[in-house]
Structure 1
Amino acid sequence: MTRPFLKMNGLGNDFVVVDARQTGFSPTPDQVRAWGKRDGGVGFDQLISIESADGNDAFMRVWNSDGSTVETCGNALRCVTWVLDKDSPNSELTIDTLGGATTARMLETSASDGIASVDMGKPRLEWSHIPLSEEMNTERLELQVGPIDAPLYHTPVAVSMGNPHVVFFVDDITTVDVERTGSLIEHHPLFPEGVNVEFAQIIDRNTIRMRVWERGAGITKACGTGACATLVAAARRGLTDRHAHVIMDGGPLHILWRSDDHVIMTGPVALEFEGTLNG
């Protein structure tokens, strides 16, 4: 199989994007893993397929680099918006995902990059929506890492943005072992479908520094849904206002949790190169 692709990224969170609106695209997990390898493959955090969708501009399907399928990806939604905007007469696009439909628009665009804004919809805050394996207050989960009498991290917030997230607030993000702790929490029995793990340091009422361990991908430079979940978690705790810049390893996203409960994510996209998938 050969298939043209675009290599794109949103704040360094990188993707191989395949336009499958005219022809099917059903890679096996082994193919996804092979293409996703940084050494010997194309290399990516996620593989994205843009598919046709009745009543919407497109459907976005997402595979992690480990071959697993996930519900949605915020940074990828901005990249798909850039692709669709090139040949769409609509200023606002509707993109469906396994995590639900979203609307998006390009605020700035060029031949190789742009700024996109995506309405990620309403956060899901009930324990069964995350989902958790047992009923629990999602604003203060009974979960900790480390000794019982002196935990390293504890009492996180759980949020679903169409995919599951757990957010730990820390005093100094530079001291967090994201790989070790993130991989441990991703597979914790409390999260039957796994979970994306964010570590967040509050800088001020409108600025958050965040690092992320993505379910099925590991440490990534940025996570759009993770930035949304982090802002929602911080606002629920009263740590920030309902809008903030969430600064990740790859750079900042602006996140707004509007009064109508919708979360708006705004940030950059970039085209790196074009290529062809083989195998």
Structure 2
Amino acid sequence: MINFTKMHGLGNDFVVMNNLDGDVCLSVEEIRQLADRHFGIGFDQLLMIEPATSKSADFRYVIYNSDGTEVSQCGNGARCFALYIKKKNLSYKNPLTVETNAGLLVLNINSDDTVKVEMGMPNFEPSKIPLNLNQLSSEYNVGGHMIGSLSIGNPHAILIQDEIDNIDGIASKIQSSELFPEGVNVGFMKIINKREIQLRVVERGVGETHACGSGACAAVIHGVRQGLLDSKVIVHLNGGDATVEFDGEKVYLTGPGKFIYEGSVNLRSGFS
């Protein structure tokens, strides 16, 4: 039996598994089976807690999308990751440093049980996003749509629009573009004022989620670089509000994480 905890960060929902003993090994098909919202548990991402491989980190943070692909970054998941470690008494350190495929994250649990995540430094070089263009630019034309693009551990495309209602067709067009060889998360940002935005994000391998932490960071970073936003911004997502701070180098994401329920699963016979 594999034990799991269901959590969410602003409606972006996760299954968290303790794999510190290294006895959980799931195939792509098994992850997809667990992610199915009708026949499985249902989640946007699966989060694995594993032993750190670096002396600089306390734990390793491993993330899988619902389609079974491994990704390098998930800001909403990082908050749930920190709260899980606290609740399960896996560590009494605060802040925690965790390693990901994109580098180290610093997770600080606040007194109100919100979590501030130091998400690291964004990368704008096309080859690092990756984006199949040679020249760095503040915006790019992708399929007739002007986008900002950057990596904050995973690739993002950001569109600034007056209204963000009809997004599926545009997101699909951008995600299927050959310019993004590893796919891309597409964020649709409506600027309310310099300290407040509304955001919807269609994630690669998942679809539109109630919230995307790295997407919120990417949108604010793009807005700051365009001179449209201040350095600290409230981001209104479908699942609730997060705060993003960008000092020109590092970006920080603050928001809640919530426990939903716990259970165990036997992939051969179902759930209990």
**TM-score when scaled to structure 1?**
0.91
1:267 matched to 2:272: no
State how far apart, in whole Å, the 1-side matches of 2:216 and 2:254 are: 11
Structure 2 distance, partners of 1:98, 1:80, is: 15
* Structure 2 CA distance for aligned equivalents of residues 80 and 255 of structure 1: 18
Q: 1-side partners of 2:173 and 2:68: how far apart? A: 20
CA distance in 1, matches of 2:135, 2:238: 31
Match of 1:202 in 2: 191
Give the AA of the match of 1:228. C
CA–CA separation in structure 2 for the residues paired with 1:53 and 1:123: 23
Aligned to 2:86: 85
**Counterparts of 2:178 and 2:215, CA distance in 1:** 20
Conservation of the 8 A alpha-carbon contact between 1:179 and 1:218: no
Distance 1:276 1:91, change over 3 A: same
* Distance in 2 of aligned mates of 1:187 and 1:50: 32
* 8 Å CA contact 2:9, 2:256 repeated in 1: yes
Unaligned runs of 5+ in 1: 146-153
The equivalent of 2:201 in structure 1 is: 212
Aligned residues: 263
Q: Does 1:21 align with 2:20?
A: yes
In structure 1, the partner of 2:159 is 168
Say if 1:243 and 1:144 are closer, same or farther in 2 by CA, change over 3 A: farther
The yes-or-no answer on 1:101 pairing with 2:142 is: no
- What SS does structure 1 have at the residue aligned with 2:92? coil
* SS of the residue 1:6 aligns to: strand
| 1:163-210 residue CA offsets vs partner (Å, 9 max, x unmatched) | 000000001113x2x322222211210001110000000000000100
2: distance between equivalents of 1:89 and 1:73? Answer: 23
Structure 2: which amino acid aligns with 1:117?
K
Tell me the residue number matched to 2:270. none
Q: Tell me, in whole angstroms, the C-alpha distance in 2 between the residues paired with 1:277 and 1:97.
A: 26
Q: Which moved more, 1:99-108 or 1:13-22?
A: 99-108
Deviation sequence 1:30-68 (CA, Å, 0-9, x none): 101111011111000011111000321111111111111
3-state DSSP of counterpart to 1:120: strand
Percent identical pairs in the alignment equals: 37
Structure 1 residues 242-272: Cα deviation after superposition (integer angstroms, max 9, x where no partner): 210111100111000025x110100000000
Cα shift at 1:241: 0.9
SS of alignment partner, residue 252 of structure 1: strand
Question: Do the aligned partners of residues 138 and 216 (structure 1) sit closer, same or farther apart at CA in structure 2, a change above 3 Å counting?
Answer: farther
Q: Which moved more, 1:5-14 or 1:64-73?
A: 64-73
> 2:72, 2:176 → 1: CA distance?
17
* Deviation digits for residues 139-176 of structure 1 (CA, Å, limit 9, x no counterpart): 1112244xxxxxxxx211001001000000001113x2
Shift of 1:277: 2.3
Letter matched to residue 72 of structure 1: Q
Q: 1:4 to 1:34 in 2, by over 3 A?
A: same
CA distance in 1, matches of 2:23, 2:64: 15
Are the counterparts in 2 of residues 183 and 218 from structure 1 also a CA contact under 8 Å? Answer: no
Corresponding residue number in structure 2 for 1:148: none
Letter in 2 for 1:220: T
Do the aligned partners of residues 20 and 138 (structure 1) sit closer, same or farther apart at CA in structure 2, a change above 3 Å counting? farther
Unaligned runs of 5+ residues in structure 2 are: 268-272
Which residue in the other structure is 2:135 paired with? 136
Of the candidates 224, 228, 246, which is equivalent to residue 213 of structure 2?
224
* Partner SS state of residue 102, structure 1: strand
The alignment's C-alpha RMSD in Å is: 1.3
